[in-house]
């Protein structure tokens, strides 16, 4: 078996970086990727219609890399602003590697990030060959870098729904994907979604895999997620599309309901808990932006939250599965949504001073 350090095209990694108005962070992100110890990779930057200087920063970065003769295929494409899902899909189609990884433009990675990911694929292959389960031409479909899943040589798609997607490993970064699997199964990001596109992408992979243990799990210590991105959907001003936070998990429920008997009953309780938490996130977002939202928008959001909570709490053990803080929030919201919005906004304004 070839070494992970061997510069063979079989193990080339395409690093896809979608960005929109990321002038404050894009250079640090790119610096962290160019300095990787594993050198068989390309960088595909996709400018999602930026209006700041991030596009020109990337153009200068491309020229600098060529001038310094780093031997890395690097390029930037400027496309119309159609959202991160469209930008990532563009990157998938443009990629030349056997493997794909996504890095957000406001994040950065350690020097061993790609090395650990490819080693996760090669070690998985080696272990399964030794067990007589796989042949040498087969690799895992996905390597996930996470501390939320008990470390194992392999995890099935159904297990990943419970132990990954519903257990805080619901993001597409810090992972390695086998490109052929994505293309052959037409797995792309759902365009038009502003929140939850990561979850649905991962769910597509998990449901297609089913019982097949084709996911490799490795330790998470090389990807640095920067939460306070002011351009991110979670931190932007309230928009009606923020209700996608609820719609996303409703879609997950529709997809996993037919899997009863294949996945544990606890998974459905866990999903209901996540639905409750997501509904309250929307309520909190409305509260924080209350002065900038019309009364009609508030009423629409409140109805969405109420229906989601009513639906989820009808399921056995859901309320018991919530943390004390969420129990208090939900009880207060159910008593009076408008009072909850007022109290939450006042509390948040106090603690954020």
228 pLDDT band, cuts 50/70/90, is low
The burial class, CB within 10 Å (0-12 / 13-18 / 19+), for 130 is exposed
Q: Kindly compute the dihedral angle of the four CA atoms of residues 129, 134, 136, 138, in this order, to the nearest 10 degrees.
A: -140
4 pLDDT band, cuts 50/70/90, is very low
Establish if 197 belongs to a structural domain: yes
| Inter-helix orientation angle 337-351/324-335, to 10° | 130
Establish if 3 belongs to a structural domain: no
Establish if 65 belongs to a structural domain: yes
Establish if 57 belongs to a structural domain: yes
Q: Which pLDDT score, from 0 to 100, does residue 35 have?
A: 96
Establish if 2 belongs to a structural domain: no
Average pLDDT over residues 258-282: 94
Query: What are residue 224's DSSP bridge partners?
Result: 108
Q: Considering Cα of 255, then 173, then 105, then 119, what sign does the dihedral take? A: negative
Q: The pTM is what?
A: 0.92
* 309 pLDDT above the threshold of 70: yes
* Most distant CA atoms of the chain, gap in Å: 64
Tokens read off for 137 = 């031409």
Residue 175's H or E segment, with its range, is strand 175-178
Helices first, then strands: H and E counts in the chain: 13, 9
Tell me how many degrees the CA angle 180-89-233 measures, rounded to the nearest 5.
Answer: 135
Q: Which pLDDT score, from 0 to 100, does residue 26 have?
A: 97
Average pLDDT, the chain: 91
Calculate the CA 98 to chain-centre distance.
20
Number of domains present in the structure of the chain: 2
Domain check: are 24 and 48 in the same one? yes
Name the phi and psi angles at 12, rounded to 5.
Answer: -70, 135
Domain check: are 67 and 215 in the same one? yes
Residue 79's H or E segment, with its range, is strand 73-79
Q: Which pLDDT score, from 0 to 100, does residue 6 have?
A: 43
138 pLDDT band, cuts 50/70/90, is confident
| Inter-helix orientation angle 295-313/265-288, to 10° | 160
Tokens read off for 349 = 């304004």
Domain check: are 255 and 212 in the same one? no
151 pLDDT band, cuts 50/70/90, is confident
Q: Which pLDDT score, from 0 to 100, does residue 81 have?
A: 96
Domain check: are 152 and 85 in the same one? yes
Which of 183, 198, 224 terminates a domain? The answer is 224
Establish if 129 belongs to a structural domain: yes
Q: What is the DSSP letter of 185?
A: T
Q: Which of 221, 241, 348, 352 is nearest to 300 (CA)?
A: 241
Residue 162's contacts (CB-CB under 8 Å, 6 or more residues apart) are 263, 264, 266, 267, 270
Domain check: are 161 and 272 in the same one? no
Which of 224, 259, 292 terminates a domain? The answer is 224
Domain check: are 187 and 245 in the same one? no
The burial class, CB within 10 Å (0-12 / 13-18 / 19+), for 208 is middle
Domain check: are 268 and 155 in the same one? no
Establish if 207 belongs to a structural domain: yes
Domain check: are 83 and 173 in the same one? yes
How far is Cα 318 from Cα 271, in angstroms, rounded to an integer?
9
CB 292 within 8 A of CB 237: yes
- CATH number, residue 88: 3.90.550.10
Domain span at residue 287 reads 240-351
134 pLDDT band, cuts 50/70/90, is low
292 pLDDT band, cuts 50/70/90, is confident
**In this structure, how many other beta carbons lie within 10 angstroms of the beta carbon of residue 94?**
14
- Residue in the structure block whose two tokens are 């962290």: 32
Domain check: are 167 and 252 in the same one? no
Q: Which of 147, 197, 151 is nearest to 174 (CA)?
A: 147
Domain check: are 135 and 179 in the same one? yes
Establish if 235 belongs to a structural domain: no
Domain check: are 171 and 56 in the same one? yes
- pLDDT 10s digits, 35-66: 999 999 999 999 999 999 999 999 999 999 98
CB 46 within 8 A of CB 90: yes
Q: Which of 71, 70, 47 is nearest to 59 (CA)?
A: 47
Q: What is the DSSP letter of 196?
A: S
CB 113 within 8 A of CB 36: yes
What percent of the chain stands above pLDDT 70?
Answer: 92
* 237 pLDDT above the threshold of 70: no
Average pLDDT over residues 145-156: 84
Which of 224, 257, 280 terminates a domain? The answer is 224
* Between 253 and 239, the higher pLDDT residue: 253
Domain check: are 47 and 163 in the same one? yes
């Amino acid at each position: 078996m070839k070494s992970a350090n061997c510069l063979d095209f079989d193990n080339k990694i395409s690093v896809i970086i979608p960005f929109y108005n990321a002038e404050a962070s894009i250079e640090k992100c790119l610096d962290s990727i160019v300095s990787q110890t594993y050198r068989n990779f390309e960088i595909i930057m996709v400018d999602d219609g930026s209006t700041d200087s991030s596009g020109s920063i990337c153009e200068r970065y491309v020229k600098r890399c060529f001038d310094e003769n780093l031997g890395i295929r690097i390029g930037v494409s400027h496309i119309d602003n159609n959202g991160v899902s469209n930008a990532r899909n563009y990157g998938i189609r443009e990629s030349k590697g056997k493997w794909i990884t996504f890095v957000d433009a406001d994040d950065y990675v350690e020097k061993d990030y790609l090395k650990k990911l490819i080693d996760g694929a090669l070690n998985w292959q080696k272990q399964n060959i030794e067990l007589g389960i796989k042949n040498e031409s087969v690799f895992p479909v996905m390597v996930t870098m996470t501390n939320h899943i008990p470390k194992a040589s392999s995890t099935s798609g159904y297990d990943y729904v419970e132990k990954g997607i519903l257990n805080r490993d619901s993001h597409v970064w810090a992972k390695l994907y086998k490109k052929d699997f994505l293309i052959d199964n037409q797995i792309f990001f759902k365009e038009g979604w502003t929140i939850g596109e990561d979850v649905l992408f991962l769910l597509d992979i998990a449901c297609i895999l089913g019982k097949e243990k084709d996911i490799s799990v490795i330790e998470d210590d090389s990807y640095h997620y920067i939460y306070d991105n002011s351009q991110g959907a979670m931190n932007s001003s309230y928009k009606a599309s923020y209700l996608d936070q609820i719609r996303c998990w409703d879609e997950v429920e529709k997809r996993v309901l037919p899997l009863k008997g294949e996945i544990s009953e606890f998974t459905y309780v866990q999903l209901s808990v996540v639905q409750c938490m997501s509904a309250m996130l929307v309520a909190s977002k409305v509260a924080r932006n209350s002065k900038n939202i019309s009364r009609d928008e508030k009423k629409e959001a409140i109805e969405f939250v109420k229906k989601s909570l009513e639906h989820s709490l009808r399921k056995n053990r859901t309320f018991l599965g919530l943390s004390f803080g969420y129990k208090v929030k939900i009880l207060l919201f159910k008593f009076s949504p408008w009072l909850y919005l007022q109290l939450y906004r006042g509390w948040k304004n106090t603690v954020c001073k």
